[in-house]
Structure 1
Amino acid sequence: MPAHDHGHAHSHGASVGGRLTLALGLTLGFAFVEAVGGWISGSLALLGDAGHMLSDSFALGLAALAAWAIKQPPSFRHSYGFGRMEVVAALVNALLMLGVVGGIAWAAIQRFQAPPEVQGGTVMLIASVGLAINLLVAWILGHGEQNLNIRGALLHVIGDLLGSVAALASGAVIFFTGWMPIDPILALLVCGLILVSTVRLLRDTLHVVLEGVPFGIELPQVGRAMAEIDHVRSVHDLHIWTLSSGSIALSAHVVLDGLQHWEGALEQLNGLLLEEFGIDHTTIQPETGFHILHPGSPEDAGRGD
């Protein structure tokens, strides 16, 4: 019968949830202050950053909810538990960021046609406070355990931080030179920087959702290493995917010289997979006899001599 080796770790949820909740409170509070300041000063860079921080508050709330869900035990309906909630939260956050970037970029383009008057001094003051808040929130999220959920939340905060820098620079240029086009120019620059990070997060998250082989692991290499275990003739129907951050799963069929070797081979296989590849959740089906191999197919990734 198949052999199972399960390893789950939920103890990190409390610390992650606490960091996210603290970041949420700081971000939501200052988003309101920045929105009022942006409206009074007429700065798109400041209003854009306020809107960004408001969307970040939603993102951080979603991430905190995911951190809570991860701690819930498995059930008959959800046998793996809720570890994938961090992936869902990261995916939603990435898509949300694409919408924010698009909205700010559109408003910036419109402002090139008719730049409004902006109060540079007010923008500089509020942006300076925002920069300090965002640095604090980024430090809170950047220290401690990292996963896709935290990466998604941190992406929003880094976007806020860049927005505060842009607003501060915009306010300074306008205050000292009176050149208004700097406001939409810097807003577009920040949009471009955020877009790069968002696309990377979206790529990594979709890779997990589509159950791709984790980055850093080569499926053929794993198959060959498994096939080198004593009394293993070949390995086929090999699949490797990410369950959640810190937990990698594998399923495979292993052809043996005989079932009398199964217990020893299984112990060696699980040790190899954990120590060499960090794979902690395995389901391995033992077989006897010869298996017809199809070279190059990921389903037949290893062969013993």
Structure 2
Amino acid sequence: MHMVASNNRTMQRILKTSLALTAAYVITTFYFGLRAHSLALISEAGHNVSDMLAIILSFVAVYFQSRPANDHKTFGYQRAGVLAAFVNALTLIVLAAWIAISALHRLYAPVTVQPRLMMYVAVAGVLMNGLIATLLWKFSGDVNIRSVFLHMLGDTLSTAAVIAGGAAILFTGLQWIDPVLSLIIAGMIMISSYGIVRDTLNILLEGTPKNLSLPDIRTAIESVEGVNGVHDLHVWSLGSKSHALASHVLVSEMPMSDCTHILDSIQNALWDKFHISHTTIQFETRGCETTHGCSAPPELEIAGAHSHDHSHHGHSH
């Protein structure tokens, strides 16, 4: 728990630093983008505004994720970061569409740009975005932080492209290079945003985590000695890293102590193979026969096993 709190404080500190640097760069890029008549630079400013939104949302999400569960939020606020990443990615898609439309318009109505100014500002952007991306890399396993990391990495690459574009315009005088660069930047934003939308929407809709296979999980449970069958199996993500499972497990009639041994074996298998630590297992001696869903027979309720182990397996393996 102490390590989680320490990580959250570190993430908040990095996000604050990133926000301050990004805000300064947005103002600089937009101002000099207007001065240089460069749509590519103005697009970069817009891209970085979305990064500011991403950082703010992520900061709020990290704050909420650190809050404990309560009677109203029994799983805590683990999905705050997922929701932040989803909203952020949607705004990026809208921004990318705007950049693309503006670039296409400028292809038909060329504007003379100042390539030297483009290059100077872009060099500063590469250094800043590269620094922030490096700081965020350590925490990029979290989907919330990963959405910000991808923004910054994309910004670093797209800003480097602006430098190359400025050099090309300087040596060739071809003004269409600027809007073409903007289209490339818009495409990069679209690609990175689509992945975030897909992953976060799967979590919000409680889909099976993309790195887990339900048939493999079913096989792992059925391979435990004493298990006769598995049904009503559900696996979903609580946050970007934690997964939960609920299932009915068919067993033979036996003493309570034997059920406990089977439960322990199932939990160990789920943690060792799939890193699932939050489980709810209900034992049954016959299949569900009601038409309104699965339920344990009344005389077997005492044999039902409900495990909500959040930390035991995480520390013992």
- Give yes or no for TM over 0.5: yes
Matched, 1:204 2:199: yes
Out of 217, 231, 239, the residue aligned to residue 244 of structure 1 is: 239
Out of 234, 237, 242, the residue aligned to residue 229 of structure 2 is: 234
Q: Distance in 1 between matches of 2:176 and 2:129?
A: 25
Q: Distance in 2 between matches of 1:30 and 1:145?
A: 23
Out of 260, 264, 268, the residue aligned to residue 267 of structure 1 is: 264
Q: Distance in 2 between matches of 1:265 and 1:145?
A: 37
Give how far 1:201 is off: 1.4
Q: Distance in 2 between matches of 1:190 and 1:198?
A: 12
Give the letter for the 2:34 counterpart. W
* Match of residue 285 from structure 1: 282
Give the letter for the 1:289 counterpart. R
Give how far 1:180 is off: 0.4
* Match of residue 61 from structure 1: 56
Q: Distance in 2 between matches of 1:8 and 1:275?
A: 24
TM-score (norm 2): 0.86
Q: Distance in 2 between matches of 1:262 and 1:9?
A: 34
Give how far 1:254 is off: 0.9
**Superposition pairs for residues 18-167 of structure 1, below 5 Å?**
18-144=13-139, 146-167=141-162
Q: Following superposition, which runs of at least 4 residues in structure 1 exceed 6 angstroms of deviation?
A: none
3-state SS of paired residue (1:79): coil
Give how far 1:259 is off: 4.1
Give the letter for the 1:99 counterpart. V
Does the 8 A contact of 2:110 with 2:176 survive in 1? yes
**Superposition pairs for residues 182-193 of structure 1, below 5 Å?**
182-193=177-188
3-state SS of paired residue (2:231): strand
TM-score (norm 1): 0.89
Q: CA RMSD in A?
A: 1.7
**Superposition pairs for residues 11-22 of structure 1, below 5 Å?**
11=5, 12-22=7-17
* Match of residue 175 from structure 2: 180
* Match of residue 298 from structure 1: none
Give how far 1:196 is off: 1.4
* Match of residue 295 from structure 2: none
3-state SS of paired residue (1:155): helix
Higher-RCO chain (CA-CA 8 Å, sequence separation at least 6):
1
Q: Cα deviations across residues 57-95 of structure 1 (Å, max 9, x unaligned)? A: 111111111011100011111110000001101101110
User: Structure 1: 5+ residue runs without aligned partners?
Assistant: 1-6, 293-305
Matched, 1:195 2:201: no
Q: Cα deviations across residues 15-62 of structure 1 (Å, max 9, x unaligned)? A: 222222221111111111111110111100001101111121111111
Give how far 1:193 is off: 2.2
Does the 8 A contact of 1:259 with 1:288 survive in 2? no
* Residue-pair matches, total: 286
Does the 8 A contact of 2:158 with 2:185 survive in 1? yes
3-state SS of paired residue (1:244): coil
Question: Does the C-alpha gap of structure 1 residues 290 and 97 become closer, same or farther in structure 2, counting only changes over 3 Å?
Answer: closer
User: Structure 2: 5+ residue runs without aligned partners?
Assistant: 290-317
Does the 8 A contact of 1:16 with 1:145 survive in 2? no
